Amino acid sequence: MAKVELDDIDVKILREYLKDARLSYREVARRVSVAVGTVMARTKRLEAEGLIKSYTAILNHEKLGYDLTAVTEITVSKGKLVEMEREIAKMPVACAVYDVTGLTDALIIAKFRSRQELNDFTKALLSMPFVERTNTHIVLTTVKEDFRLPP
């Protein structure tokens, strides 16, 4: 995947969208001190290049009842990692699915409303073909959770 080259104006525009993706072109232009047409053209280019994938709201999961966050390590056998990860990625509670280095093959971050949901998720993972074992860590305190990295 090719890296997208950004200049200072692109970076400033992206930072404004990271703060509030609902901003109008006009408001972004005012904050960045450029013309509205500049913001519009650059935003369209960044979308076309795939740097901006979508616009979304950041929800407070705890207020929605998702009080449990689990980080699950998975060990997979017989080269079926990609297939297994695709299935897990379809599960609504899965927030992130990663291939990792180290003693395990994949790392899953998921959120749950109850211990029963976590139990059902873990059993679903263990019932998948080629999943040898899981090791689940329960998050006690979330110090920081924000995947919006600065450009």
**Residues 35, 66 within the same domain:** no
Give the pLDDT mean for 71-79. 91
- State how many domains the chain has: 2
Tell me the CATH number at 32: 1.10.10
**Residues 83, 21 within the same domain:** no
Beta bridge partners of 62: none
Q: Which residues contact 77 (CB under 8 A, 6 or more apart)?
A: 130, 131, 132
**Residues 77, 99 within the same domain:** yes
**Residues 44, 66 within the same domain:** no
Tell me the CATH number at 105: 3.30.70.920
Residue 4 has pLDDT above 90, yes or no: no
**Residues 73, 107 within the same domain:** yes
**Residues 85, 126 within the same domain:** yes
Q: Does residue 109 lie within any of the structural domains?
A: yes
Q: Report yes or no: 36 and 87 within 8 Å, Cβ to Cβ.
A: no
**Residues 83, 19 within the same domain:** no
What is the per-residue pLDDT across 5-64, written as a single tens digit (0 to 9) for each?
899 999 999 999 999 999 999 999 999 999 999 999 999 999 999 999 999 888 899 999
Q: What is the pLDDT of residue 112?
A: 97
**Residues 128, 70 within the same domain:** yes
Q: What is the pLDDT of residue 3?
A: 85
Q: Which residues contact 25 (CB under 8 A, 6 or more apart)?
A: 36, 39, 40, 43
Long-range CB contacts (within 8 A, 24+) of 51-54: 51/4, 51/6, 51/14, 52/14, 52/17
User: Is 91 in a helix, a strand, or coil?
Assistant: coil
Q: Does residue 149 lie within any of the structural domains?
A: no
**Residues 41, 94 within the same domain:** no
Gyration radius (Cα) of the chain, Å: 20
Alpha-carbon torsion (37, 42, 43, 45), positive or negative: positive
Q: Does residue 145 lie within any of the structural domains?
A: no
Q: Which amino acid is residue 35, in one-letter code? A: A
- pTM here is 0.83
Domain range enclosing 38: 8-48
Half-sphere CA count of 33, side-chain side, radius 13 A: 1
